Amino acid sequence: MFWKKRTSEDRPQQMEDAMSCGEIIATPEAPATPSANPTSHSQVDQMLSYVYEKARPITEGKLADYIPELANVQADSFGIAIATTKGKVHKIGDADFEFTIQSTSKALTYCMALELVGRKEVLSRAGVEPSGDPFNAIEFSPVTRRPFNPMVNAGAIAISGLLRDVLGVEKAFDLMLDRFSRAAGRQLSLNESVYRSEAATGHRNRAIGHLLLSVGAMNEPVESALDLYFKQCSIMVTATDLARIGATIANLGFNSLTNEQVFDIDAVRDTQSVMFTCGMYDYSGGWAYEVGIPAKSGVGGGILGVVNRQLGVGTYSPRLDGNGNSVRGIASYRMMSDSLGLHSFDLTNTGSEFVSSFFTSDRAEN
């Protein structure tokens, strides 16, 4: 991998048009190639501080305010972390500041559900199509009568219901917290006051839960499934945790820090696919196009990114755009993706060593 200079001239005209109407917030230009050996640790840190300094002056966006706890955070907090699949972490700013995981949890619970009951059962509760609706839409696919995907509230609540059914009301949350902690490589905890607020005010999610029950995508009782969903959203993480969780996913489910297989290898593949197509609310298509990294964001201000077989990335900055994504988080990812060639379809993203070994050992025959 290497740093490369990518300028606004490289962007297609449609993207420039979208930016000028405010759909996409302009990203500062990526840094030029700094020297011949860009993979040294100090140069990754140099790139991180460049990205951090460029994104820090961005103050657009608003804090989530549907519960008081989210509106009371430090609006200016900002941290970025990158973790390699081998366990090395690079970070800057408030990368160790705790915030609630919120919707980022949806990717992890989906992965757990796939592992526990397999694709068929999971697909009977939620599909895998981008919805084109807001994350909290009370909208199901007219064809399947199921939520469009597990990254919007309806699909995630259906998955929480499934986990409740399989793991049991008593143990489901403890097992979930344990799995999230193993992915991060440290013990995570629940923010009780966020959980209580989510539970006290989550009537739209309750409506979704009852609708799921009515179409057969949820079993009774709805309330304990919702309780699990509210708790999973209220787990505290840092940008560093998100990067480490991302690295565990990127590393085929194996956490190199703790030497432990945390997620099942097939579940990890399916989870990344859904993150790639549905993980960034209504900006999922634009994100896949511009950033090209499977990711999931949450209204707490975090974004978890997975560069398959290579890195996990975590950002935290709580000011959100109209889609519910962290504004500085998006700007940072755009710069990192361009600078390090992290886009899944970038020609500098070499991916799996196993696959590349075929190309080095095989020669085409005429």
Interface residue list for ligand GLU (CB under 6 A): 102-103, 135-136, 153, 198, 205, 233, 298-299, 324
Q: Which residues are catalytic?
A: 103, 106, 229, 281, 299
Q: How many CB atoms lie within 10 A of CB 314?
A: 30
Q: Which is nearer to ligand GLU, 68 or 351 (CB)?
A: 68
Bridge partners (DSSP) listed for residue 311: 84, 307
Q: Which of 239, 206, 191 is nearest to 69 (CA)?
A: 191
Residue 157 beta carbon to ligand GLU: minimum distance, rounded to whole angstroms = 8
CB atoms within 10 A of CB 159: 28
Q: How far apart are CA 292 and CA 313, in angstroms?
A: 13
Task: Compare residues 31 and 300 and give the one whose CB is closer to ligand GLU.
Answer: 300
C-beta of 31 vs 147, nearer to ligand GLU: 147
> Which residues 6+ apart lie within 8 Å of 191 measured at CB?
69, 100, 234, 235, 236
- Residue nearer to ligand GLU on the CB measure, 28 or 286: 286
Sheet arrangement for strand 302-307: 89-93, 79-84, 311-316, 302-307, 295-297
Question: DSSP letter at 62?
Answer: B
- Whole-number minimum distance, CB 204 to ligand GLU, in Å? 7
**In whole angstroms, how close is the CB of 250 to ligand GLU at the nearest point?**
22
Nearest to 327 by CA among 48, 23, 69: 23
> Least distance in Å: CB of 163 to ligand GLU?
16
